[in-house]
Amino acid sequence: MADSRINQRTLLLDGRRMGFAEFGDPMGRPVFVLPDLPGSRFFGRHLELAALKWRVRILCVDYPGIGLSDSCPGYRLLDWVDNLQSLAESLSLPRFAVIGISGGAPFALACATKIPERMTRAVVLNGLGPYSIAETNPWWDAQAEADFRLAREDPAQFRRNWAELFRLGLEDLLDAIIAQLPPVDRQALANPVVVEVIRDDLREAFHQGAGGAVEQAAAIWGEWGFNLREIHLPVSVFHGGEDRNVPPDAGAYIASMIPGSHARFYPEDGHLSLFINHPDDIMRELITASGSLRL
C-alpha cells in the first residue's frame, strides 16, 4: 500500500493536525476505526482484506499525541468527537459508521452520544465500559477498579502510573500484553502477519513517546461526560467469551444500557481473535441497512 494512504493528516479547527490511514475500498462505505489502547492508525490493517471484500473504506485514526496527530493534554471524550467531525468534513463525508475496539469503544460511544445524526452504525468490539460497571459488578477485577478510582481522585498519579507502564520497550510491552492473553489469542498470534501488524501498530503508537497513550488512558478512565442511557443510536456489540482484557459482561452491560442495542458473543474467542477470526461478521453488520443481527 502506498504511503500516501497510510500517512495522512488533516488540519483541525483549533490548528492541530490529526493523523489517519485508509484501508480497503477507497470508493466504499466510510467507516472510522477507533483503535485500542495503545494503538495507532496502523491497526486498520487487520481489517483490510475484509474491507476490500465488502467494499468498505476504512479510515483508522491516531488519537492526540499518537502517530501523526498533534497532542492535546487533558482532552475529554466528547471534545475529541469534534476532531472526528473535522476529519469527516475534510473528506466530504456527511455520514459514516464507527468501530471502537476495546479502549476505542468509549470514543465510539461518545460519537453515538454527540453526533448520532451523522452516523450510520456504531459497532463496539470487546469494548471497555464505564466506571459504573466497576461499582455495580463484582466481576470487574481489582486493578481495573483501582485505575478508575485513581483517575478521578488523583489524575496526576494516574498519569505517572501509566507513563511508567509505557516506558517498557516495544518487545517487553508486547510480551506483557501476550502474557495476559488466553490460548485462543496466542493461537492467533501464531500468524506472523498478525504479529507484524501488532508490532507496527505499537511502534507507531509510541512514535512521539508515551504521552499520547497516557492521555488516551486518562480520557478513558476519567469521567466520560455522558450516560449510556442517553444514547439513542442502536449500538452493535461483539465480544469474545474468552476475553481476559475486558470481561464479556462489559459487552452485555453496554448493550443492555443503550436502547435498541444488542450483543453478539463468540464463546471461543478472546480479545484479539474476535476481529481476526470474524471480520466478515463485522463488515456485514456495518453494511446491513436494518442493522439487525439474527442470533
Q: Looking at the DSSP assignment, which residues form a beta bridge with residue 56?
A: 29
pLDDT tens per residue, range 183-215: 999 998 889 999 999 999 999 999 999 999 999
Distance CA 201, CA 45 (A): 9
Segment 49-58, tens digit of pLDDT = 999 999 999 9
Average pLDDT over residues 7-32: 96
C-alpha span between 167 and 150 (Å, rounded): 20
* Residues 142-173: tens digit of each pLDDT: 777 788 888 888 889 989 988 887 887 777 87
The share of the chain scoring above pLDDT 70, in percent, equals 93
Residue 102 has pLDDT above 90, yes or no: yes
Average pLDDT over residues 257-264: 91
Asked whether 62 and 41 are in contact (CB, 8 A), the reply is yes
pLDDT at 292: 37
pLDDT band at 270 (very low <50, low <70, confident <90, very high): very high
Instruction: Please report which confidence band the pLDDT of residue 2 belongs to, taking 50, 70 and 90 as the band edges.
Output: low
- Decide if 228 contacts 237 (C-beta within 8 A): no
Predicted confidence at residue 132, as pLDDT, reads: 63
The grid coordinates of residue 279 equal: 471480520
Which pLDDT score, from 0 to 100, does residue 178 have? 81
Residue 136 has pLDDT above 70, yes or no: no
CB 52 within 8 A of CB 199: no
The band of 175, judged by pLDDT with boundaries at 50, 70 and 90, is confident
Instruction: Walk across the sheet containing 17-24 and list its strands.
Output: 8-11, 17-24, 56-61, 29-34, 96-101, 119-125, 235-240, 262-266
Distance, in Å, from the CA atom of 188 to the CA atom of 199, rounded to the nearest integer, reads 14
207 φ, ψ (degrees, to nearest 5): -60, -35
Asked if residue 104 lies in contact with residue 81, where contact means CB atoms within 8 angstroms, the answer is no
Determine the pLDDT at residue 129.
85
8 A C-beta contact, residue 134 and residue 140 = yes
Region 274-281 average pLDDT: 94
CA distances from 149 to 56, 132, 142, 143, 158 (A): 39, 11, 11, 10, 9
Q: What is the CA radius of gyration of the chain?
A: 17
Whether 69 and 19 have beta carbons less than 8 Å apart is answered as: yes
Rounded average pLDDT over 98-113:
97
Mean pLDDT score across all residues of the chain:
89
> Is there a contact between 40 and 201 (Cβ–Cβ < 8 Å)?
yes
Task: Please say whether the dihedral angle defined by the alpha carbons of residues 131, 135, 141 and 142, taken in this order, is positive or negative.
Answer: positive
Check if the beta carbon of residue 245 is closer than 8 Å to that of residue 36: no
Give the integer Cα–Cα distance in Å for 262 and 53. Answer: 25
Report which of residues 289 and 161 the model is more confident about.
161
Residue 275, CA distances (Å) to 29, 69, 105, 136 in order? 19, 25, 14, 28
pLDDT tier at 140, thresholds 50, 70, 90: low
Say how many Å lie between the first and final Cα of the chain, rounded.
36
Share of the chain above pLDDT 90, in %: 69
Q: Could you give the domains of the chain?
A: 3-287 (3.40.50.1820)
User: Would you say 1 and 197 are in contact if contact means Cβ atoms under 8 Å apart?
Assistant: no
